[in-house]
DNA sequence: CGAAAGTACCATACGGCGTATGGTGGTGTC
DNA sequence: GACACCACCATACGCCGTATGGTACTTTCG
C-alpha cells in the first residue's frame, strides 16, 4: 500500500513489491494466489480504515463521519477508488457494512429505506472521491497551481464553450474556491432528504 | 470500443486492436501518440453518447434524462467508469459540460448553485454506475443468478454479520428487488433537494 | 518530367510484466 | 534418522507498450 500510494497502482508490480521486501517475485506466490489476491487484500485494509458507526450513534452524525472518513481515506489511497467496485469483499468490508445497517435500522429506518440510504450515500461519496482524485489539486483542495493552466485554455474555450468559460472565471478560479466545499453541500442535501424520507417511512409503517 | 465492451478494457492491447484492424501494432503509432491517447479518445466518444440538454429544456427533466442516459451508457461501457476520472478532456466532454451549465443557469441557478448541482449530480451518477458495474447482475438488473451464490455464504454470514444477513434475506433476495429502483429513489431525492435550494437561492438573490 | 515531401504501414528488438514449473535449504516432528 | 513442511528461489514463457529505423505508394511542385 505504501508503494501504491507513492507511485500509483499501475506501477506496483510483483517484482517491485518483492524487491521492497528483499525477496524475489516468485516468493510472493507462497503467500498469495495471484496479483488479484494481493489487490483484494489491499482493498479490504482500506475498508478497515473507514470510520464505522458504533451501536447507539445518532444516525446523521454517524453517516456524516462515515462519509467524511471515506472521502479522506480514498483521497489518501486514490488507487482504491477504481478498485472499490471489486467483487469478493473481505471481512473488514463486510463488517463495516454490517455496522452501517445496524446503525440505520436502530434509528428507525425500515430495511427498504436502509437500502435506499446506503445506496445513495455510498454512490455519492464514491463518485465524489473519484472526481476529486481526477483533479490536479494540491492537497489543500485549493485550485492553486492549476490556475495558470486553465487560464491558458481560457481563450480557446471562450469561443466554443461560453458557459464553461463563464463558470471558470466567475466561480472556479475565484480565490477560496475549493471542491471540498461542494462535498458538504451535497452530503447535507442528501441527509436532509433522508430525514424527510425517514419520517414519512415511519408514519406509513405506524398506520 | 467494441473490443473493450466485449472483453474488458484490461484485455485491450495495441496488438489486439491492430489485429482487429488488419494492421500491425506499430502502425497504430502513426495515428496515436501512445496508448493513453487512445484511451482519451475512447472516453471522449463515450461522453458524446450522453444525452445533452437543449436550450430551453426544463431543468429537472433535462437532468433526469442526462442522469439516466449517463447511467445506461456507462453500463454499456463499464470500462469507461474508472477512466472518467481522467485529466485532459476532449471536445465532446467539454461541449457536454457547457450545455449542462447553460441549462441550469437558464433555469435560474446562480453560478455557485450550478456548481453545487453539477457536483452532486455527477458524483451520484458516477458512483452509482460504478457500484452497479461491480455487481454480478444480469442486464435486467434482477438479482437472478447471483442468488444461489449469496445463499451459500448466507450461513457463514449469519453468525458474524447479523445485520448484513438480515438485509440479504429480507430485502435483496426478495423477488423483484433490483438495484435499478435504488437509482431513481436517490435521483429524485437529489432533484427535490436542488429544487428547494434553487428557491432559497433566488429568494436570497432578489433581496 | 523528376525530385522532394508526405502518408500509411511495417520488421525487429528491448525491457518489463504476471506467473507456470520445478527446485533448495532450513526447521520441527515422530 | 526419516520425513514433512515452510519459506524462498532460478529459470523460462508468452504477453505487453513502444523506440528505432525502415519501405512502398501518392501528392506536390519547380
Question: pLDDT tens across B99-118, in order?
Answer: 999 999 999 999 999 999 99
Pick out the nucleotide with least CA–C1' distance to B18. C9
Shortest-distance nucleotide from B36 CA to C1': D17
Looking at the DSSP bridge assignments, the partners of residue A133 are none
Q: Is the CB atom of residue B9 positioned under 7 angstroms from any atom of strand D?
A: no
Q: Report whether B164 contacts B157 (CB < 8 A).
A: yes
Give the pLDDT confidence of A121-163 residue by residue, as tens digits. 999 999 999 999 987 655 555 555 556 656 666 666 777 899 9
User: Quick check: A90 and A66 in contact, CB under 8 A?
Assistant: no
A-chain CB neighbours of B55 within 8 Å are none
Say how many CB pairs under 8 Å bridge A and B: 175
**Residues of B 19-48 whose CB lies less than 7 Å from any atom of strand C:** 23-24, 26-27, 29-31
Per-residue pLDDT, B152:
61
Q: Dihedral of the CA atoms A78, B118, B80, A17 (nearest 10)?
A: 0
Within 10 A of A97 (CB to CB), how many other CB atoms are there? 19
Per the prediction, chain A carries an average pLDDT of 89
pLDDT at A70 over 70: yes
Q: Return the residue matching grid coordinates 461519496.
A: A125
Element (H, E) at B156: helix B146-160
CA to C1' distance (Å), from B29 to C8: 11
The answer to whether residue B85 scores a pLDDT higher than 80 is no
Q: Does domain A36-135+189-207 have CATH number 1.10.357.10?
A: yes
Does the pLDDT of residue B134 top 70, yes or no? Answer: yes
Give me the residue from A87, A183, A190 closest to B136, CB to CB: A87
CA distance B18 to A205: 60
Give the residue among A115, A116, A135, A122 at the shortest CA–CA distance from A71.
A122
Return the pLDDT at A88. 75
Does the C-beta of A7 come within 7 A of strand C? no
A58 Cα distance to chain centroid: 22
CATH architecture label of B52-206: Orthogonal Bundle (1.10)
Query: A102 exposed, middle or buried (CB, 10 Å; 0-12, 13-18, 19+)?
Result: buried
Note the maximum CA span of chain B: 66
User: Strand D: which positions are within 7 A of a protein CB?
Assistant: 7-11, 15-21
Residue A176 has pLDDT above 60, yes or no: yes
The domain limits of chain A are 1-31, 36-135+189-207
Contact B169, B158 (CB under 8 A): no
- The band of B190, judged by pLDDT with boundaries at 50, 70 and 90, is very high
Q: Are B31 and B23 in contact (CB under 8 A)?
A: no
Backbone angles phi, psi at B33, to 5 degrees: -70, -50
Cβ proximity of B187 and B129 under 8 Å: no
User: What is d(CA A59, CA A108) in angstroms, rounded to the nearest whole number?
Assistant: 10
**In sequence order, which residues have a C-beta less than 8 Å from that of residue A7 and are 6 or more positions away?**
none
**Strand C bases contacted by the protein (CB, 7 Å):** 8-12, 16-22
Answer yes or no: is pLDDT of B149 > 70: no
pLDDT confidence of residue A177: 87
Cβ-based neighbours of B31, under 8 Å, separated by 6 or more: none
- Kindly tell me if the per-residue pLDDT of B146 is higher than 60: no
B107 CB contact with strand D at below 7 Å: no
For B62, half-sphere exposure in the C-beta direction (CA atoms, 13 angstrom radius) is: 21
Cell of B85: 476520472
- Residue A167 has its nearest CB partner, among B111, B126, B131, at B111
Amino acid at each position: 500500500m505504501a508503494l501504491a500510494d507513492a507511485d500509483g497502482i499501475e506501477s506496483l508490480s510483483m517484482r517491485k513489491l518483492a524487491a521492497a521486501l528483499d525477496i524475489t517475485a516468485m516468493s510472493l506466490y507462497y503467500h498469495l494466489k495471484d496479483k488479484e489476491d494481493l489487490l483484494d487484500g489491499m482493498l479490504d485494509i482500506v475498508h478497515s480504515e473507514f470510520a464505522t458507526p458504533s451501536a447507539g450513534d445518532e444516525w446523521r452524525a454517524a453517516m456524516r463521519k462515515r462519509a467524511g472518513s471515506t472521502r479522506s481515506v480514498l483521497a489518501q489511497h486514490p488507487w482504491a477508488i477504481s478498485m472499490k467496485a471489486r467483487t469478493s469483499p473481505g471481512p473488514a468490508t463486510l463488517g463495516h457494512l454490517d455496522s452501517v445497517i445496524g446503525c440505520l435500522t436502530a434509528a428507525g429506518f425500515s430495511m427498504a429505506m436502509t437500502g435506499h440510504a446506503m445506496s445513495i450515500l455510498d454512490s455519492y461519496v464514491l463518485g465524489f472521491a473519484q472526481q476529486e482524485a481526477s483533479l490536479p489539486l494540491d492537497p489543500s483542495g485549493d485550485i492553486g497551481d492549476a490556475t495558470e493552466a486553465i487560464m491558458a485554455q481560457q481563450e480557446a474555450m471562450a469561443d466554443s464553450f461560453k458557459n464553461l468559460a463563464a463558470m471558470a472565471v466567475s466561480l472556479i478560479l475565484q480565490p477560496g474556491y475549493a471542491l471540498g466545499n461542494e462535498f458538504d453541500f451535497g452530503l447535507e442535501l442528501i441527509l436532509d432528504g433522508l430525514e424527510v424520507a425517514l419520517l414519512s417511512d415511519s408514519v406509513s409503517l405506524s398506520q
